Amino acid sequence: MSDADELERFLADSCERIDAYFERNLPPASEPPQLLHEAMRYAVYSGGKRLRPALVFAAAHACELAPERAAPLAAAVELVHTYSLVHDDLPAMDDDDLRRGRPTVHVKFGEANAILVGDALLAAAFEELARAEVPIAIVGRLARAAGSRELVGGQVDDLAFAPERADAALVRAIHERKTAALFRFSVWAPGVAAGRPARELEALDAFGLAYGLAFQLVDDLLDGGREECSILCVADEATARVRVRDEVARALSAADAFAARGVFLRGLASAAAGRLR
Amino acid sequence: MSDADELERFLADSCERIDAYFERNLPPASEPPQLLHEAMRYAVYSGGKRLRPALVFAAAHACELAPERAAPLAAAVELVHTYSLVHDDLPAMDDDDLRRGRPTVHVKFGEANAILVGDALLAAAFEELARAEVPIAIVGRLARAAGSRELVGGQVDDLAFAPERADAALVRAIHERKTAALFRFSVWAPGVAAGRPARELEALDAFGLAYGLAFQLVDDLLDGGREECSILCVADEATARVRVRDEVARALSAADAFAARGVFLRGLASAAAGRLR
Protein backbone atom coordinates (compact mmCIF):
# COMPACT_ATOMS: atom_id res chain seq x y z
CA MET A 1 0.00 0.00 0.00
CA SER A 2 1.25 3.51 -0.80
CA ASP A 3 1.56 6.13 1.96
CA ALA A 4 -1.45 7.98 0.56
CA ASP A 5 -3.54 4.81 0.54
CA GLU A 6 -2.46 4.03 4.07
CA LEU A 7 -3.47 7.51 5.29
CA GLU A 8 -6.80 7.22 3.47
CA ARG A 9 -7.46 3.88 5.20
CA PHE A 10 -6.42 5.32 8.57
CA LEU A 11 -8.83 8.26 8.17
CA ALA A 12 -11.70 5.96 7.21
CA ASP A 13 -10.95 3.71 10.21
CA SER A 14 -10.87 6.74 12.54
CA CYS A 15 -14.27 7.94 11.32
CA GLU A 16 -15.77 4.50 11.68
CA ARG A 17 -14.33 4.07 15.14
CA ILE A 18 -15.57 7.40 16.48
CA ASP A 19 -19.02 7.01 14.95
CA ALA A 20 -19.33 3.54 16.51
CA TYR A 21 -18.22 4.99 19.84
CA PHE A 22 -20.87 7.74 19.69
CA GLU A 23 -23.49 5.21 18.66
CA ARG A 24 -22.72 3.10 21.74
CA ASN A 25 -22.22 5.86 24.29
CA LEU A 26 -24.38 8.90 23.48
CA PRO A 27 -27.88 8.71 24.98
CA PRO A 28 -30.17 7.09 22.38
CA ALA A 29 -32.67 9.35 20.62
CA SER A 30 -35.39 7.13 22.12
CA GLU A 31 -34.43 8.16 25.67
CA PRO A 32 -36.31 11.14 27.16
CA PRO A 33 -36.12 13.99 26.57
CA GLN A 34 -36.23 12.56 23.05
CA LEU A 35 -36.08 15.94 21.33
CA LEU A 36 -32.86 16.84 23.16
CA HIS A 37 -31.18 13.52 22.49
CA GLU A 38 -32.28 13.54 18.87
CA ALA A 39 -30.89 17.07 18.48
CA MET A 40 -27.59 16.10 20.13
CA ARG A 41 -27.19 13.26 17.65
CA TYR A 42 -28.19 15.53 14.77
CA ALA A 43 -25.36 17.87 15.76
CA VAL A 44 -22.84 15.08 16.29
CA TYR A 45 -23.64 13.23 13.04
CA SER A 46 -23.42 16.24 10.78
CA GLY A 47 -21.03 14.96 8.14
CA GLY A 48 -17.97 16.59 9.67
CA LYS A 49 -14.51 15.37 8.70
CA ARG A 50 -13.72 14.12 12.25
CA LEU A 51 -10.30 15.76 11.97
CA ARG A 52 -9.80 16.07 15.74
CA PRO A 53 -10.59 12.40 16.36
CA ALA A 54 -8.19 11.52 13.51
CA LEU A 55 -5.47 13.52 15.27
CA VAL A 56 -6.24 11.71 18.54
CA PHE A 57 -5.88 8.33 16.83
CA ALA A 58 -2.74 9.45 14.96
CA ALA A 59 -1.12 10.55 18.24
CA ALA A 60 -2.32 7.34 19.91
CA HIS A 61 -0.57 5.36 17.15
CA ALA A 62 2.59 7.40 17.72
CA CYS A 63 2.39 6.74 21.47
CA GLU A 64 1.37 3.09 21.24
CA LEU A 65 -1.93 3.75 22.98
CA ALA A 66 -4.61 1.23 21.98
CA PRO A 67 -7.37 2.74 19.81
CA GLU A 68 -9.99 1.62 22.36
CA ARG A 69 -8.28 3.77 24.97
CA ALA A 70 -7.99 6.69 22.54
CA ALA A 71 -11.66 6.59 21.52
CA PRO A 72 -13.05 8.37 24.64
CA LEU A 73 -10.47 11.15 24.16
CA ALA A 74 -11.49 11.45 20.52
CA ALA A 75 -15.16 11.56 21.52
CA ALA A 76 -14.55 14.21 24.18
CA VAL A 77 -12.71 16.58 21.84
CA GLU A 78 -15.24 16.07 19.05
CA LEU A 79 -18.09 16.81 21.49
CA VAL A 80 -16.42 20.07 22.55
CA HIS A 81 -15.86 20.98 18.88
CA THR A 82 -19.50 20.16 18.07
CA TYR A 83 -20.89 22.16 21.01
CA SER A 84 -18.85 25.17 19.86
CA LEU A 85 -20.27 24.93 16.33
CA VAL A 86 -23.86 24.70 17.62
CA HIS A 87 -23.41 27.83 19.74
CA ASP A 88 -21.40 29.67 17.05
CA ASP A 89 -24.25 29.20 14.58
CA LEU A 90 -26.85 30.80 16.91
CA PRO A 91 -28.65 33.98 15.78
CA ALA A 92 -26.89 36.02 18.50
CA MET A 93 -23.51 34.78 17.24
CA ASP A 94 -22.76 34.06 13.55
CA ASP A 95 -26.46 33.55 12.70
CA ASP A 96 -25.92 30.71 10.24
CA ASP A 97 -28.90 28.82 8.82
CA LEU A 98 -26.91 26.10 7.12
CA ARG A 99 -23.91 24.00 8.06
CA ARG A 100 -22.53 21.55 5.52
CA GLY A 101 -25.71 22.00 3.51
CA ARG A 102 -28.09 21.06 6.34
CA PRO A 103 -30.21 23.33 8.56
CA THR A 104 -28.29 24.32 11.69
CA VAL A 105 -29.48 22.99 15.06
CA HIS A 106 -31.39 26.15 16.01
CA VAL A 107 -33.15 26.26 12.64
CA LYS A 108 -34.24 22.65 12.99
CA PHE A 109 -34.90 22.43 16.75
CA GLY A 110 -35.41 26.04 17.87
CA GLU A 111 -33.04 28.47 19.53
CA ALA A 112 -33.67 27.49 23.16
CA ASN A 113 -33.03 23.84 22.36
CA ALA A 114 -29.88 24.70 20.41
CA ILE A 115 -28.45 26.54 23.43
CA LEU A 116 -29.28 23.55 25.62
CA VAL A 117 -27.93 21.04 23.06
CA GLY A 118 -24.59 22.87 23.12
CA ASP A 119 -24.56 22.87 26.92
CA ALA A 120 -25.36 19.16 27.03
CA LEU A 121 -22.64 18.33 24.48
CA LEU A 122 -20.05 20.19 26.53
CA ALA A 123 -21.08 18.33 29.69
CA ALA A 124 -21.06 15.04 27.75
CA ALA A 125 -17.42 15.58 26.80
CA PHE A 126 -16.44 15.42 30.47
CA GLU A 127 -18.73 12.45 31.03
CA GLU A 128 -16.76 10.55 28.37
CA LEU A 129 -13.43 11.42 29.99
CA ALA A 130 -14.75 10.25 33.37
CA ARG A 131 -16.21 7.05 31.93
CA ALA A 132 -12.75 6.19 30.61
CA GLU A 133 -11.17 7.08 33.98
CA VAL A 134 -8.47 9.18 32.30
CA PRO A 135 -5.77 10.90 34.39
CA ILE A 136 -7.27 14.02 35.95
CA ALA A 137 -4.73 16.24 34.15
CA ILE A 138 -6.55 15.42 30.91
CA VAL A 139 -9.81 16.74 32.39
CA GLY A 140 -8.03 19.94 33.38
CA ARG A 141 -6.47 20.40 29.96
CA LEU A 142 -9.76 19.94 28.09
CA ALA A 143 -11.58 22.26 30.50
CA ARG A 144 -8.92 24.89 29.93
CA ALA A 145 -8.98 24.38 26.14
CA ALA A 146 -12.77 24.78 26.12
CA GLY A 147 -12.86 27.71 28.53
CA SER A 148 -12.37 31.45 28.78
CA ARG A 149 -8.61 31.34 28.27
CA GLU A 150 -8.72 29.37 25.03
CA LEU A 151 -11.75 28.36 22.89
CA VAL A 152 -14.35 30.73 24.40
CA GLY A 153 -11.82 33.52 24.86
CA GLY A 154 -10.81 33.24 21.21
CA GLN A 155 -14.44 33.33 20.22
CA VAL A 156 -15.08 36.50 22.22
CA ASP A 157 -12.11 38.23 20.59
CA ASP A 158 -13.24 36.93 17.21
CA LEU A 159 -16.70 38.47 17.68
CA ALA A 160 -15.13 41.80 18.69
CA PHE A 161 -12.59 41.66 15.82
CA ALA A 162 -12.26 44.85 13.76
CA PRO A 163 -10.04 44.41 10.65
CA GLU A 164 -8.98 48.05 10.64
CA ARG A 165 -7.53 47.73 14.14
CA ALA A 166 -6.00 44.27 13.70
CA ASP A 167 -2.33 43.37 13.83
CA ALA A 168 -0.52 40.08 13.27
CA ALA A 169 -0.22 39.35 17.01
CA LEU A 170 -3.98 39.65 17.57
CA VAL A 171 -4.81 37.45 14.58
CA ARG A 172 -2.38 34.82 15.79
CA ALA A 173 -3.72 35.01 19.36
CA ILE A 174 -7.25 34.40 18.08
CA HIS A 175 -6.10 31.51 15.86
CA GLU A 176 -4.21 29.93 18.74
CA ARG A 177 -7.16 29.95 21.08
CA LYS A 178 -10.12 29.54 18.75
CA THR A 179 -8.59 26.86 16.56
CA ALA A 180 -5.28 25.47 17.80
CA ALA A 181 -6.30 24.80 21.43
CA LEU A 182 -8.45 21.77 20.61
CA PHE A 183 -5.86 20.41 18.14
CA ARG A 184 -3.21 20.67 20.85
CA PHE A 185 -5.43 18.78 23.26
CA SER A 186 -6.15 16.15 20.58
CA VAL A 187 -2.52 15.11 20.22
CA TRP A 188 -1.32 15.79 23.77
CA ALA A 189 -4.01 13.80 25.61
CA PRO A 190 -3.15 10.38 24.09
CA GLY A 191 0.47 10.95 25.12
CA VAL A 192 -0.59 11.59 28.71
CA ALA A 193 -2.96 8.61 28.70
CA ALA A 194 -0.09 6.44 27.45
CA GLY A 195 2.23 7.75 30.17
CA ARG A 196 4.82 9.10 27.72
CA PRO A 197 7.78 11.19 28.95
CA ALA A 198 7.70 15.01 29.12
CA ARG A 199 9.92 15.36 26.04
CA GLU A 200 7.38 13.54 23.89
CA LEU A 201 4.43 15.45 25.40
CA GLU A 202 6.20 18.67 24.41
CA ALA A 203 6.67 17.37 20.89
CA LEU A 204 2.97 16.49 20.71
CA ASP A 205 1.98 19.92 21.97
CA ALA A 206 4.29 21.62 19.47
CA PHE A 207 2.78 19.46 16.72
CA GLY A 208 -0.76 20.41 17.76
CA LEU A 209 0.00 24.12 17.83
CA ALA A 210 1.74 24.12 14.44
CA TYR A 211 -0.96 21.92 12.90
CA GLY A 212 -3.74 24.10 14.31
CA LEU A 213 -2.18 27.31 13.02
CA ALA A 214 -1.55 25.77 9.58
CA PHE A 215 -5.13 24.52 9.47
CA GLN A 216 -6.56 27.96 10.27
CA LEU A 217 -4.24 29.78 7.84
CA VAL A 218 -5.34 27.42 5.06
CA ASP A 219 -8.97 28.06 6.02
CA ASP A 220 -8.35 31.80 5.83
CA LEU A 221 -6.68 31.45 2.41
CA LEU A 222 -9.49 29.27 1.03
CA ASP A 223 -12.13 31.63 2.44
CA GLY A 224 -10.38 34.70 1.03
CA GLY A 225 -12.46 37.14 3.14
CA ARG A 226 -10.96 40.13 4.90
CA GLU A 227 -14.00 41.23 6.94
CA GLU A 228 -13.61 38.68 9.71
CA CYS A 229 -10.51 37.61 11.60
CA SER A 230 -8.12 36.28 8.96
CA ILE A 231 -4.42 36.24 8.22
CA LEU A 232 -5.37 38.14 5.06
CA CYS A 233 -6.27 41.18 7.21
CA VAL A 234 -2.62 41.51 8.19
CA ALA A 235 -0.61 39.77 5.43
CA ASP A 236 -0.79 39.27 1.67
CA GLU A 237 -1.54 35.87 0.19
CA ALA A 238 2.08 35.02 -0.68
CA THR A 239 3.21 35.73 2.89
CA ALA A 240 0.33 33.67 4.27
CA ARG A 241 1.35 30.72 2.07
CA VAL A 242 4.90 30.92 3.38
CA ARG A 243 3.52 30.84 6.93
CA VAL A 244 1.50 27.71 6.12
CA ARG A 245 4.66 26.03 4.83
CA ASP A 246 6.55 27.06 7.96
CA GLU A 247 3.90 25.69 10.32
CA VAL A 248 3.64 22.41 8.41
CA ALA A 249 7.43 22.09 8.56
CA ARG A 250 7.28 22.68 12.32
CA ALA A 251 4.61 20.02 12.70
CA LEU A 252 6.60 17.51 10.61
CA SER A 253 9.72 18.16 12.63
CA ALA A 254 7.80 17.69 15.92
CA ALA A 255 6.45 14.37 14.63
CA ASP A 256 10.05 13.17 14.15
CA ALA A 257 10.16 12.49 17.92
CA PHE A 258 8.10 9.37 17.12
CA ALA A 259 10.20 8.08 14.20
CA ALA A 260 8.26 5.54 12.12
CA ARG A 261 5.26 5.58 14.48
CA GLY A 262 4.69 9.26 13.64
CA VAL A 263 3.50 8.21 10.18
CA PHE A 264 -0.11 9.35 10.57
CA LEU A 265 0.80 12.60 12.31
CA ARG A 266 3.10 13.36 9.36
CA GLY A 267 0.42 12.34 6.89
CA LEU A 268 -2.15 14.64 8.50
CA ALA A 269 0.29 17.57 8.64
CA SER A 270 1.14 17.20 4.93
CA ALA A 271 -2.55 16.90 4.05
CA ALA A 272 -3.32 20.17 5.88
CA ALA A 273 -1.38 22.16 3.28
CA GLY A 274 -2.68 19.89 0.51
CA ARG A 275 -6.10 21.55 0.70
CA LEU A 276 -4.52 24.66 -0.85
CA ARG A 277 -3.44 23.08 -4.11
CA MET B 1 -24.13 29.60 71.08
CA SER B 2 -27.64 28.44 70.12
CA ASP B 3 -28.13 26.04 67.21
CA ALA B 4 -29.61 28.89 65.15
CA ASP B 5 -26.62 31.11 65.85
CA GLU B 6 -24.25 28.30 64.99
CA LEU B 7 -26.01 27.70 61.65
CA GLU B 8 -25.95 31.43 60.91
CA ARG B 9 -22.23 31.52 61.59
CA PHE B 10 -21.67 28.41 59.44
CA LEU B 11 -23.57 29.98 56.52
CA ALA B 12 -21.59 33.22 56.78
CA ASP B 13 -18.31 31.25 56.88
CA SER B 14 -19.34 29.21 53.83
CA CYS B 15 -20.10 32.36 51.84
CA GLU B 16 -16.83 33.96 52.82
CA ARG B 17 -14.89 30.84 51.98
CA ILE B 18 -16.40 30.37 48.53
CA ASP B 19 -16.07 34.04 47.63
CA ALA B 20 -12.42 34.00 48.67
CA TYR B 21 -11.91 30.87 46.60
CA PHE B 22 -13.44 32.49 43.50
CA GLU B 23 -11.41 35.63 44.09
CA ARG B 24 -8.20 33.57 44.10
CA ASN B 25 -9.00 31.13 41.31
CA LEU B 26 -11.26 32.71 38.69
CA PRO B 27 -9.38 34.57 35.94
CA PRO B 28 -9.03 38.21 37.05
CA ALA B 29 -11.14 40.78 35.21
CA SER B 30 -7.88 42.42 34.14
CA GLU B 31 -6.88 39.34 32.12
CA PRO B 32 -7.85 39.34 28.42
CA PRO B 33 -10.44 39.01 27.16
CA GLN B 34 -11.34 41.49 29.89
CA LEU B 35 -14.99 41.76 28.91
CA LEU B 36 -15.46 38.00 29.21
CA HIS B 37 -13.69 37.71 32.54
CA GLU B 38 -15.51 40.75 33.90
CA ALA B 39 -18.83 39.23 32.80
CA MET B 40 -17.97 35.86 34.37
CA ARG B 41 -17.29 37.57 37.67
CA TYR B 42 -20.47 39.66 37.34
CA ALA B 43 -22.44 36.42 37.01
CA VAL B 44 -20.61 34.67 39.85
CA TYR B 45 -20.84 37.60 42.30
CA SER B 46 -24.54 38.20 41.87
CA GLY B 47 -25.67 38.18 45.48
CA GLY B 48 -26.85 34.57 45.41
CA LYS B 49 -27.33 32.71 48.67
CA ARG B 50 -24.52 30.20 47.92
CA LEU B 51 -26.82 27.42 49.05
CA ARG B 52 -25.03 24.69 47.06
CA PRO B 53 -21.62 25.64 48.48
CA ALA B 54 -23.20 25.66 51.97
CA LEU B 55 -24.42 22.11 51.36
CA VAL B 56 -20.95 21.08 50.19
CA PHE B 57 -19.40 22.47 53.37
CA ALA B 58 -22.13 20.95 55.55
CA ALA B 59 -21.52 17.51 54.01
CA ALA B 60 -17.77 18.04 54.32
CA HIS B 61 -18.26 18.71 58.04
CA ALA B 62 -20.34 15.53 58.32
CA CYS B 63 -17.62 13.54 56.52
CA GLU B 64 -14.65 15.18 58.25
CA LEU B 65 -13.32 16.57 54.98
CA ALA B 66 -11.23 19.72 55.51
CA PRO B 67 -12.94 22.88 54.22
CA GLU B 68 -9.94 23.61 51.96
CA ARG B 69 -10.55 20.29 50.22
CA ALA B 70 -14.28 20.98 49.97
CA ALA B 71 -13.86 24.47 48.48
CA PRO B 72 -13.10 23.33 44.88
CA LEU B 73 -16.19 21.08 44.97
CA ALA B 74 -18.25 24.01 46.21
CA ALA B 75 -16.83 26.23 43.49
CA ALA B 76 -17.52 23.66 40.78
CA VAL B 77 -21.18 23.19 41.70
CA GLU B 78 -21.73 26.94 42.10
CA LEU B 79 -20.17 27.53 38.66
CA VAL B 80 -22.52 24.98 37.08
CA HIS B 81 -25.47 26.57 38.87
CA THR B 82 -24.37 30.05 37.72
CA TYR B 83 -23.89 28.98 34.10
CA SER B 84 -27.41 27.52 34.09
CA LEU B 85 -28.89 30.79 35.38
CA VAL B 86 -27.04 32.84 32.73
CA HIS B 87 -28.36 30.62 29.94
CA ASP B 88 -31.87 30.33 31.48
CA ASP B 89 -32.19 34.11 31.49
CA LEU B 90 -31.43 34.44 27.74
CA PRO B 91 -34.09 35.90 25.42
CA ALA B 92 -34.56 32.52 23.70
CA MET B 93 -35.19 30.89 27.09
CA ASP B 94 -36.96 32.66 30.00
CA ASP B 95 -36.10 36.13 28.65
CA ASP B 96 -35.44 37.74 32.04
CA ASP B 97 -34.02 41.25 32.22
CA LEU B 98 -33.40 41.24 35.95
CA ARG B 99 -32.00 38.74 38.43
CA ARG B 100 -31.91 39.67 42.10
CA GLY B 101 -32.59 43.26 41.11
CA ARG B 102 -29.63 43.58 38.74
CA PRO B 103 -29.57 43.47 34.93
CA THR B 104 -29.03 39.91 33.70
CA VAL B 105 -25.76 39.06 31.94
CA HIS B 106 -27.18 39.37 28.41
CA VAL B 107 -28.76 42.75 29.22
CA LYS B 108 -25.48 44.07 30.56
CA PHE B 109 -22.97 42.37 28.22
CA GLY B 110 -25.00 41.40 25.15
CA GLU B 111 -26.54 38.11 24.12
CA ALA B 112 -23.53 36.60 22.34
CA ASN B 113 -21.32 37.28 25.34
CA ALA B 114 -23.91 35.84 27.72
CA ILE B 115 -23.97 32.57 25.76
CA LEU B 116 -20.17 32.46 25.88
CA VAL B 117 -20.04 33.42 29.57
CA GLY B 118 -22.28 30.45 30.38
CA ASP B 119 -20.10 28.15 28.28
CA ALA B 120 -16.94 29.41 29.99
CA LEU B 121 -18.46 28.98 33.47
CA LEU B 122 -19.40 25.38 32.70
CA ALA B 123 -15.87 24.65 31.48
CA ALA B 124 -14.43 26.42 34.55
CA ALA B 125 -16.34 24.06 36.85
CA PHE B 126 -14.36 21.13 35.47
CA GLU B 127 -11.14 23.13 35.61
CA GLU B 128 -11.69 23.56 39.36
CA LEU B 129 -12.28 19.83 39.86
CA ALA B 130 -9.10 19.05 37.93
CA ARG B 131 -7.07 21.65 39.80
CA ALA B 132 -8.05 19.92 43.07
CA GLU B 133 -7.21 16.50 41.58
CA VAL B 134 -10.49 15.02 42.79
CA PRO B 135 -11.31 11.33 42.15
CA ILE B 136 -12.46 10.98 38.54
CA ALA B 137 -15.87 9.65 39.68
CA ILE B 138 -16.63 13.18 40.91
CA VAL B 139 -15.96 14.56 37.42
CA GLY B 140 -18.34 11.99 35.97
CA ARG B 141 -21.07 12.73 38.49
CA LEU B 142 -20.93 16.50 37.92
CA ALA B 143 -20.89 16.03 34.14
CA ARG B 144 -23.94 13.81 34.40
CA ALA B 145 -25.70 16.21 36.78
CA ALA B 146 -25.06 19.11 34.37
CA GLY B 147 -25.93 17.18 31.21
CA SER B 148 -28.81 15.92 29.11
CA ARG B 149 -29.98 13.34 31.63
CA GLU B 150 -30.28 15.75 34.55
CA LEU B 151 -29.96 19.57 34.58
CA VAL B 152 -30.26 20.23 30.83
CA GLY B 153 -32.83 17.46 30.37
CA GLY B 154 -34.98 18.91 33.13
CA GLN B 155 -34.68 22.33 31.54
CA VAL B 156 -35.83 21.01 28.15
CA ASP B 157 -38.87 19.35 29.73
CA ASP B 158 -39.53 22.51 31.74
CA LEU B 159 -39.56 24.63 28.55
CA ALA B 160 -41.98 22.16 26.90
CA PHE B 161 -44.16 21.95 30.04
CA ALA B 162 -47.92 22.31 29.48
CA PRO B 163 -49.94 22.55 32.74
CA GLU B 164 -53.04 21.02 31.16
CA ARG B 165 -51.13 17.86 30.25
CA ALA B 166 -49.09 17.61 33.46
CA ASP B 167 -49.25 14.86 36.04
CA ALA B 168 -47.49 14.40 39.37
CA ALA B 169 -44.84 12.07 37.91
CA LEU B 170 -43.80 14.61 35.25
CA VAL B 171 -43.58 17.47 37.75
CA ARG B 172 -41.46 15.34 40.06
CA ALA B 173 -39.23 14.19 37.20
CA ILE B 174 -38.58 17.83 36.24
CA HIS B 175 -37.90 18.82 39.86
CA GLU B 176 -35.50 15.90 40.32
CA ARG B 177 -33.42 16.80 37.29
CA LYS B 178 -33.70 20.57 37.12
CA THR B 179 -33.25 21.21 40.84
CA ALA B 180 -32.32 18.16 42.90
CA ALA B 181 -29.44 16.90 40.70
CA LEU B 182 -27.01 19.64 41.73
CA PHE B 183 -28.02 19.36 45.40
CA ARG B 184 -27.35 15.63 45.26
CA PHE B 185 -23.93 16.26 43.79
CA SER B 186 -23.25 18.92 46.44
CA VAL B 187 -23.56 16.52 49.36
CA TRP B 188 -22.36 13.32 47.66
CA ALA B 189 -19.07 14.69 46.29
CA PRO B 190 -17.52 15.59 49.69
CA GLY B 191 -18.29 12.05 50.87
CA VAL B 192 -16.44 10.59 47.88
CA ALA B 193 -13.53 13.01 48.31
CA ALA B 194 -13.31 11.93 51.97
CA GLY B 195 -13.35 8.25 51.01
CA ARG B 196 -16.48 7.45 53.05
CA PRO B 197 -18.15 4.03 52.81
CA ALA B 198 -21.00 3.27 50.38
CA ARG B 199 -23.62 3.33 53.16
CA GLU B 200 -22.79 6.95 53.95
CA LEU B 201 -22.64 7.95 50.28
CA GLU B 202 -26.15 6.56 49.92
CA ALA B 203 -27.30 8.57 52.94
CA LEU B 204 -25.78 11.71 51.41
CA ASP B 205 -27.46 11.07 48.08
CA ALA B 206 -30.80 10.46 49.79
CA PHE B 207 -30.33 13.69 51.74
CA GLY B 208 -29.56 15.64 48.56
CA LEU B 209 -32.59 14.30 46.72
CA ALA B 210 -34.99 15.00 49.61
CA TYR B 211 -33.47 18.42 50.24
CA GLY B 212 -33.65 19.32 46.54
CA LEU B 213 -37.28 18.27 46.23
CA ALA B 214 -38.24 20.14 49.43
CA PHE B 215 -36.40 23.24 48.17
CA GLN B 216 -38.26 23.21 44.85
CA LEU B 217 -41.65 22.51 46.44
CA VAL B 218 -41.14 25.48 48.76
CA ASP B 219 -40.17 27.60 45.75
CA ASP B 220 -43.35 26.52 43.96
CA LEU B 221 -45.46 27.36 47.03
CA LEU B 222 -43.84 30.78 47.48
CA ASP B 223 -44.21 31.53 43.77
CA GLY B 224 -47.86 30.43 43.74
CA GLY B 225 -48.03 30.32 39.90
CA ARG B 226 -49.71 27.52 37.98
CA GLU B 227 -48.62 28.45 34.45
CA GLU B 228 -45.13 26.99 34.66
CA CYS B 229 -43.98 23.65 36.03
CA SER B 230 -45.07 23.62 39.68
CA ILE B 231 -46.41 21.20 42.24
CA LEU B 232 -49.49 23.46 42.30
CA CYS B 233 -50.34 22.29 38.77
CA VAL B 234 -50.99 18.80 40.12
CA ALA B 235 -51.75 19.23 43.85
CA ASP B 236 -53.46 21.73 46.14
CA GLU B 237 -51.51 23.83 48.58
CA ALA B 238 -52.27 21.71 51.66
CA THR B 239 -51.04 18.55 49.90
CA ALA B 240 -47.92 20.37 48.71
CA ARG B 241 -47.15 21.46 52.29
CA VAL B 242 -47.46 17.87 53.50
CA ARG B 243 -45.01 16.83 50.77
CA VAL B 244 -42.52 19.47 51.94
CA ARG B 245 -42.76 18.11 55.50
CA ASP B 246 -42.23 14.57 54.21
CA GLU B 247 -39.13 15.48 52.20
CA VAL B 248 -37.63 17.46 55.07
CA ALA B 249 -38.26 14.47 57.38
CA ARG B 250 -36.52 12.23 54.84
CA ALA B 251 -33.54 14.59 54.68
CA LEU B 252 -33.29 14.77 58.49
CA SER B 253 -33.45 11.02 58.79
CA ALA B 254 -30.71 10.61 56.14
CA ALA B 255 -28.52 13.07 58.08
CA ASP B 256 -28.77 10.79 61.13
CA ALA B 257 -26.13 8.57 59.50
CA PHE B 258 -23.63 11.24 60.63
CA ALA B 259 -24.84 11.61 64.24
CA ALA B 260 -23.59 14.87 65.81
CA ARG B 261 -21.47 15.75 62.74
CA GLY B 262 -24.67 15.99 60.66
CA VAL B 263 -25.53 19.20 62.52
CA PHE B 264 -25.25 21.57 59.53
CA LEU B 265 -27.01 19.19 57.16
CA ARG B 266 -29.89 19.03 59.65
CA GLY B 267 -29.84 22.79 60.10
CA LEU B 268 -30.04 23.39 56.34
CA ALA B 269 -32.86 20.85 55.93
CA SER B 270 -34.92 22.49 58.68
CA ALA B 271 -34.26 25.94 57.22
CA ALA B 272 -35.55 24.81 53.80
CA ALA B 273 -39.08 24.48 55.17
CA GLY B 274 -38.61 27.58 57.34
CA ARG B 275 -38.90 29.82 54.26
CA LEU B 276 -42.62 28.93 54.16
CA ARG B 277 -43.56 30.36 57.56
At residue B277, does pLDDT exceed 80?
Answer: no
For range A6-21, the mean pLDDT? 97
**Contact between A202 and A265 (Cβ < 8 Å):** no
pLDDT of residue A2: 83
If we measure between CA atoms, which residue out of B37, B6, B59 comes closest to residue B192? B59
Question: CB contacts < 8 Å between A and B, how many?
Answer: 160
Torsion of CA B259, B261, B265, B271, to 10 degrees: 90
At residue B212, does pLDDT exceed 80?
Answer: yes
At residue A10, does pLDDT exceed 90?
Answer: yes
Residue B75's Cβ-side half-sphere holds a number of Cα atoms within 13 Å equal to 30
For range B148-164, the mean pLDDT? 95
The dotted CATH code for B3-274 is: 1.10.600.10
Quote the DSSP letter at residue B104. Answer: -
Residue of A nearest to B121 (CA): A147
The string of pLDDT tens digits covering residues B233-248 is 999 999 999 999 999 9
Is ipTM strictly over 0.85?
yes
If we measure between CA atoms, which residue out of A46, A115, A53 comes closest to residue A84? A115
* A43, A252, B105, B123, B124 from B83: Cα distances, Å: 21, 40, 10, 9, 10
At residue B274, does pLDDT exceed 80?
Answer: yes
**CA A248/CA A246 separation, integer angstroms:** 5
- Could you count the other beta carbons within 10 Å of the beta carbon of residue A1? 8
**CA A188/CA A276 separation, integer angstroms:** 26
- The percentage of residues in chain B with a pLDDT greater than 70, rounded to a whole number, is 100
DSSP E strand stretches across chain A: 98-99, 102-103
The string of pLDDT tens digits covering residues A87-117 is 999 999 999 999 999 999 999 999 999 999 9
Q: Which residues contact B94 (CB under 8 A, 6 or more apart)?
A: B88
Residue A102: strand pairing partners? A99
Residue of A nearest to B126 (CA): A143
A31: exposed, middle or buried (Cβ count in 10 Å: 0-12, 13-18, 19+)? middle
Interface of B with A in 121-150 (CB under 8 A): 122-127, 129-131, 133-134, 136-137, 139-144, 146-149
For range A60-83, the mean pLDDT? 98
- Give the distance from residue B159's alpha carbon to the nearest chain A alpha carbon, in angstroms: 8
**CA A14/CA A23 separation, integer angstroms:** 14
The string of pLDDT tens digits covering residues B121-147 is 999 999 999 999 999 999 999 999 999
pLDDT of residue A276: 84
Interface of B with A in 142-201 (CB under 8 A): 142-144, 146-149, 151-153, 155-157, 159-160
Residue A104's Cβ-side half-sphere holds a number of Cα atoms within 13 Å equal to 24
**Which chain A residues are Cβ-neighbours of B137 within 8 angstroms?**
130
Peptide bond into B28 cis (omega under 30): no
**Contact between B129 and B73 (Cβ < 8 Å):** yes
Contact B136 A130 (CB under 8 A): yes
**Which chain B residues are Cβ-neighbours of A36 within 8 angstroms?**
148, 152-153, 156
Say which amino acid occupies A16. E
Q: Which residues contact A273 (CB under 8 A, 6 or more apart)?
A: A214, A218, A244, A245, A248
- The percentage of residues in chain A with a pLDDT greater than 90, rounded to a whole number, is 95
The domain spans of chain B are: 3-274
Contact B160 A35 (CB under 8 A): yes
At residue A149, does pLDDT exceed 80?
Answer: yes
**Contact between B141 and B193 (Cβ < 8 Å):** no
Claim: this prediction has a pTM higher than 0.95: yes
pLDDT of residue B261: 98
Q: Which of A1-5, A17-21, A265-269, B195-199 has the lowest mean pLDDT?
A: A1-5
Residue B103: strand pairing partners? B98
Measure the CA angle with vertex A80, ends A76 and A86; round to 5°: 140
Residue of B nearest to A155 (CA): B116
The string of pLDDT tens digits covering residues B46-96 is 989 999 999 999 999 999 999 999 999 999 999 999 999 999 999 999 999
Out of A127, A129, A142, closest to residue B147 by CB:
A127
Contact B143 A124 (CB under 8 A): yes
pLDDT of residue B238: 96
Interface of A with B in 48-87 (CB under 8 A): 83-84, 87
**CA A68/CA A25 separation, integer angstroms:** 13
Residue of A nearest to B39 (CA): A148
**What's CA B257's distance to the chain center, in Å?**
22
